[in-house]
Structure 1
Amino acid sequence: MKLLFVADPLESFKTYKDTTFSMMREAARRGHQIWACEPKDLVWRQGSRVVARAARAITLTGDAHDWFAVATTAELALADTDAIVMRKDPPFDSEFFYATHLLGQAEREGARVFNKPAALRDHPEKLAILEFPQYITPTLVTRSEEAIRAFHAEHRDIILKPLDGMGGMGIFRVGPDGLNLGSITETLNKGGAETVMVQRYLPEIVKGDKRVLVIGGQVVPFCLARIPQGSEVRGNLAVGGKGVAQAISARDREIAEALGPILAARGLLLVGLDVIGDCLTEINVTSPTCFQEIHDQTGFDVPKMFIDALEAALAAR
């Protein structure tokens, strides 16, 4: 098969932990052709099809640093591939949004895109949990400083975060003393111009912010608990959290098995659920990670499960 990965620059990959790289490696092991481009390479012109300018066909070298070699560079029509794997990292900004529309046009021309572009737009990673209130901690979404103060007065210990953050960026905890609540609110809501998510603090974060993966509607039996270090309240690996792979709990499985078939039916082949304690906190659909950490620590072959699911989805067409 000819697979096109739409991703960040290949030169930026940290191959020892990069999930997209692990997907490519497994696909290459099976003999599939690997092509890559960036969202900025996508072009549509009237009377033609969506193409990736200067798409690169690559081979994997096995070298940890110079990990790929370019076999050829060409303009590639997306509909001439067998599958497109959209793996551009957040933030979900205007350019990401526009890329999903170009990928949607490619679908109309016959391309197969995973995750489905419309589903990416319909499931913003923080707000997607609102559909499943039975699994989440008390949560408020608002621009209003007054509403945030009332939420704090009720719950006493809260987390505030921007809706467009990633990797733990812009997350604040305010305890019972309310120290700096006004300043934090003003910083996040830009004086009432932007919407903020506020949640009751979950003390179980000390045991980790668990990434539970769902592939083709099926639950990966191991998760990665990202454990805050030192005085840090965030477990994100990007801010120094320690990743510890572990078997998923009964509650993790309950949440994942409830959401998995629903999300898969909407065109989300790969989903990363974030769970703290017993509560769902985010639904990650843009470029969920942790494949290699789980594989390295448990031996469970997550990349194999993903490529199996991708091949099955293409065969079922």
Structure 2
Amino acid sequence: MAKSILFIIDPIQALKKDKDTSLLLMKTSMEIGHQVFFCTHTDISLKNNIPYGKIKEVKKFNDEFSEVVETQVNLNQLDVIFIRKDPPFNKDYLFLTISLSLLKKPKIINCPQSLQTHNEKLSILNFPKLIPKTLVSGNLKEIIQFISKYKQVVCKPIDEMAGNKIFLLKKNDPNINVTLEVLTDNYSTLIMIQEYIPEIRKGDKRIIIVNGEPLPYGLLRIPKKTDFRGNLAKGGKAKVFKLSSSDLKITEAIKPYLMDHNLNFVGIDVIGNYLTEINITSSTGLVEIQKLTKQNVAKTVIQNLF
């Protein structure tokens, strides 16, 4: 049955048409026969405690999105709302999820309340047996002790994406203090520090999970020789891979948690045998998986979600 689906995205002009997962999902939804709309978070308003949206219906999907029709609607009239706004989860993101929480009818992916309570870096702490040695702190002494113990660590903010502001530090590195000063804003905010996983040289695995079930193929992002980050945005090379038994054990272990919190579309990151992130806002990688497998995985995702 055809459904009305609203994608809440970043400004569409800023999205890369040949790489963006949101655009692929929108295009595929139209091809299946669904009615597709899009808007940004600034198009949402509250009137008498009811969320309304100034939304645009896509009549024809082309490179310029020239055939769109704008309308103002009570969002309860829609069947599905797919939140695909990029991090950081700031006050605008918070206000968006609070507003959408007032809706009665539409299925919302992912659950607004769960987006409020699940940080994409910190969520892995719910699975201590699956993750590398990890410290979350803004305290210089604690961080130095952690680096001294594990010799080589990765430091990252807890509100960034796409490999931004991630540093590899070694014991006795002369840049430790200045790096930590920048990351913690002079020790006023928390960061995540993890033991370095050498298997990153073989690639950082992105696994897409739909309603608790992983796609059979994931995206392997291999770092450049001059970098330790596999993110495609940082020059990583994309390859497709079939999930291993270790990967499947991880997805099976976190499935009940994802389902309990209505996290229906998730992209997890795995390095070696370790879970490193649970991406729940605007998981990417679907375009590359579809191109490399030559399978319509986006259609499978849409059919399973809606």
On whether the aligned pair clears a TM of 0.5, the verdict is: yes
Whether the aligned pair in 2 keeps the contact of 1:213 and 1:223 (CA below 8 Å) is: yes
Q: C-alpha separation between the residues in 1 aligned to 2:265 and 2:259?
A: 8
Q: C-alpha separation between the residues in 1 aligned to 2:227 and 2:40?
A: 34
Find the counterpart in structure 2 of residue 4 from structure 1.
Answer: 6
Q: Is 1:103 equivalent to 2:85 in the alignment?
A: no
Query: Which stretches in structure 1 are left out of the alignment for 5+ residues?
Result: 312-317
Find the counterpart in structure 2 of residue 20 from structure 1.
Answer: 22
Q: Which amino acid aligns with 1:207?
A: K
Q: Which amino acid aligns with 2:51?
A: V
Judging changes above 3 Å, is the alpha-carbon distance between structure 1 residues 42 and 216 closer, same or farther for their aligned structure 2 residues?
same
Q: Identity percentage over the alignment?
A: 35
Q: Which amino acid aligns with 2:72?
A: E
Judging changes above 3 Å, is the alpha-carbon distance between structure 1 residues 192 and 266 closer, same or farther for their aligned structure 2 residues?
same
TM-score of the pair, normalised by structure 2: 0.96
Q: Is 1:255 equivalent to 2:250 in the alignment?
A: yes
Equivalent residue in structure 1 for 2:70, among 70, 73, 92:
73
SS at structure 2 position matched to 1:274 = strand
Find the counterpart in structure 1 of residue 38 from structure 2.
Answer: 36
SS at structure 1 position matched to 2:161 = coil
Could you tell me how far 1:48 is from its partner in structure 2?
5.1
Query: Which stretches in structure 2 are left out of the alignment for 5+ residues?
Result: none
TM-score of the pair, normalised by structure 1: 0.93
Could you tell me how far 1:87 is from its partner in structure 2?
0.5
SS at structure 2 position matched to 1:105 = coil
SS at structure 1 position matched to 2:171 = coil
The more displaced of 68-77 and 220-229 is 68-77
SS at structure 1 position matched to 2:173 = coil
Whether the aligned pair in 2 keeps the contact of 1:226 and 1:237 (CA below 8 Å) is: yes
SS at structure 1 position matched to 2:129 = helix
Could you tell me how far 1:103 is from its partner in structure 2?
1.0
SS at structure 2 position matched to 1:50 = strand
CA distances 1:97-116 after superposition (whole Å, capped 9, x unpaired): 1111111112xx32321111
Q: Which amino acid aligns with 2:28?
A: E
Q: Is 1:86 equivalent to 2:88 in the alignment?
A: no
Ranges of 4+ aligned residues in structure 1 off by more than 3 Å: none
The 5 Å alignment of 1:197-236 reads 197-236=192-231
Find the counterpart in structure 1 of residue 53 from structure 2.
Answer: 52
CA RMSD of aligned residues (A): 1.3
Whether the aligned pair in 2 keeps the contact of 1:206 and 1:227 (CA below 8 Å) is: yes
Q: Is 1:283 equivalent to 2:281 in the alignment?
A: no
Find the counterpart in structure 2 of residue 145 from structure 1.
Answer: 140
Whether the aligned pair in 2 keeps the contact of 1:34 and 1:58 (CA below 8 Å) is: yes
Find the counterpart in structure 1 of residue 164 from structure 2.
Answer: 169
Whether the aligned pair in 1 keeps the contact of 2:130 and 2:274 (CA below 8 Å) is: yes
Q: C-alpha separation between the residues in 2 aligned to 1:60 and 1:175?
A: 52
Could you tell me how far 1:91 is from its partner in structure 2?
1.5
The more displaced of 87-96 and 149-158 is 87-96
Q: C-alpha separation between the residues in 2 aligned to 1:232 and 1:48?
A: 49
Equivalent residue in structure 2 for 1:185, among 175, 180, 187:
180
SS at structure 2 position matched to 1:74 = strand
Q: Which amino acid aligns with 2:85?
A: K
Q: Which amino acid aligns with 1:49?
A: I
Could you tell me how far 1:71 is from its partner in structure 2?
3.6
